[in-house]
Amino acid sequence: MWRRVAGVVRQPEPPVQAEVTAEANSNAPEVRVRAFRMGFVGAIGVLLAVFLGGIIGQLSTVLLYVALALFLALGLDPVVSWMQRRGMARWVAILIVFLVVIGLFVGLIATIVPLVVEQVTTIVENWDQIVEDAANSDLVAWISSVAGGTTWIEDSIAFIGDWLGDPKNIGALTGGILAVGAGIAGGLTGATIVLILTLYFLASLDAMKRYASRFVPASSRNGFVEVSEEITGSVGRYVIGQVSLASINGVLSLIYLTIIGAPAPILLAFIAFLGSLVPLIGTLTGAVIITIISFTAGPATGVAAAVYYLIYMQIEAYVLSPRIMSRAVSVPGALVVIAAVAGGTLGGVLGALVAIPIAASLIIIVEKVIFPRQDLA
């Protein structure tokens, strides 16, 4: 349609909507093809991620073994390096250190296993007498007198004793004899795997560091080597320091628990040693378990154990730990609790042991890599 504007006749402009529609229609097939392709690739990526996550979940125990062996190798490497500086060949130093570790492991097993078997046999044979003694103990009488002479404590002890005295209930509680045997066999197998991997990692630790540095560009290689050396050295000192603290706790617990007449002092000292391997919460957990078991020998024994561990934890926190761990990286208490709980949830006791050195490594990376870059920005 012709229009007259200011005396000038102009030809009408072409329809814009038709062009847009035509252009949209011409591009519509291409848009649909790209959307389908992106959705298909995204779905493949999600399936691949789920598949890899399932594989990692299935291999979680193996990965924990590898991580624990690596941290043990880092903990033993300073000892090997010290022996090398004294003029000893590295393979000789590794052999000596590994023989000492195996000897300690076999010695602990040879000491603890017969003791556990003896205690279990004694408990099974004298179970009725143990339940009766617990119901008539001074601690129960004191609690009953404080509670107003009620008999619910005696009734509860009798019920628990009867329930635990039934082999069917014990089998249901532990998963049966086969499950217990499989757990013991799995533990021994895992310990053997960790020892073998520790030997391999310890022998090839320098080669592993050199190989890992090849993945870093040459311009950043020196900084990577410096940070990795600091991480491995600090983690090694951390592992040695934690084992030293655990050994001190175990030895002192054995001496004191023997003096106060606690039941099975060797077994309880071993529990104290294992608990102290997990800092902060491990010592407290072991102390609570040992104190509860000590109460079975009498109120005085239990109170003596509780007082001892209250004093010991203060000495460990303010005297022993600062001196022994002064050269290792300092891990904040809140981070220790979070790492130990998260590691224990993901991997049990092994996960809790591995989580603390991992947290220490992350702290070093943050302090030596991330913070300097942020300061330069």
Q: Is the pLDDT of residue 189 over 70?
A: yes
Taking residues 339-359, report their average pLDDT. Answer: 74
pLDDT digits (tens, 9 = 90+) for 77-120: 888 888 888 888 888 888 888 888 888 878 877 777 777 777 76
Q: Is the pLDDT of residue 252 over 90?
A: yes
User: What pLDDT does residue 307 have?
Assistant: 93
Q: What's the number of CA atoms in the CB half-sphere (13 Å) around residue 102?
A: 12
Taking residues 328-336, report their average pLDDT. Answer: 68
Weakest-pLDDT range from 24-38, 54-68, 333-347: 24-38
- 368 or 76: whose pLDDT is higher? 76
Q: Rounded to whole angstroms, what are the CA distances from 287 to 198, 272, 310, 328, 342?
A: 30, 7, 8, 25, 21
Of the candidates 317, 326, 321, the one whose C-alpha atom is nearest the C-alpha of residue 237 is 326
- 93 or 235: whose pLDDT is higher? 93
The H or E element that residue 9 is part of is strand 8-10
CB atoms within 10 A of CB 97: 19
Q: Is the pLDDT of residue 247 over 70?
A: yes
Taking residues 123-135, report their average pLDDT. Answer: 68
Q: Is the pLDDT of residue 66 over 80?
A: yes
CB 331 within 8 A of CB 356: yes
**β-pair type (3-5, 8-10):** antiparallel
What is the rounded distance in angstroms from the CA atom of residue 193 to the CA atom of residue 190? 5
User: What pLDDT does residue 151 have?
Assistant: 63
Question: Can you tell me which residue has the tokens 């076999």?
Answer: 106
Contacts of 240 (CB under 8 A, 6+ apart): 75, 78, 79
Q: Rounded to whole angstroms, what are the CA distances from 299 to 2, 158, 327?
A: 111, 20, 41
- Three-state SS at 129: helix
pLDDT digits (tens, 9 = 90+) for 357-375: 777 778 777 877 788 777 7
User: What pLDDT does residue 179 have?
Assistant: 57
User: What pLDDT does residue 168 have?
Assistant: 63
* pTM strictly above 0.85: no
Choose from 39-48, 230-239, 332-341 the range with maximum mean pLDDT: 39-48
Average pLDDT over the chain, rounded to an integer: 76
pLDDT digits (tens, 9 = 90+) for 160-173: 666 666 666 555 55
Contacts of 127 (CB under 8 A, 6+ apart): 161, 164, 165
User: What pLDDT does residue 24 have?
Assistant: 47
Q: Is the pLDDT of residue 7 over 90?
A: no
What is the rounded distance in angstroms from the CA atom of residue 272 to the CA atom of residue 266? 10
CB 262 within 8 A of CB 297: yes
Cα dihedral 278→283→289→291 (10° resolution): 170
- Burial of 19 by CB count in 10 Å (0-12 exposed, 13-18 middle, 19+ buried)? exposed
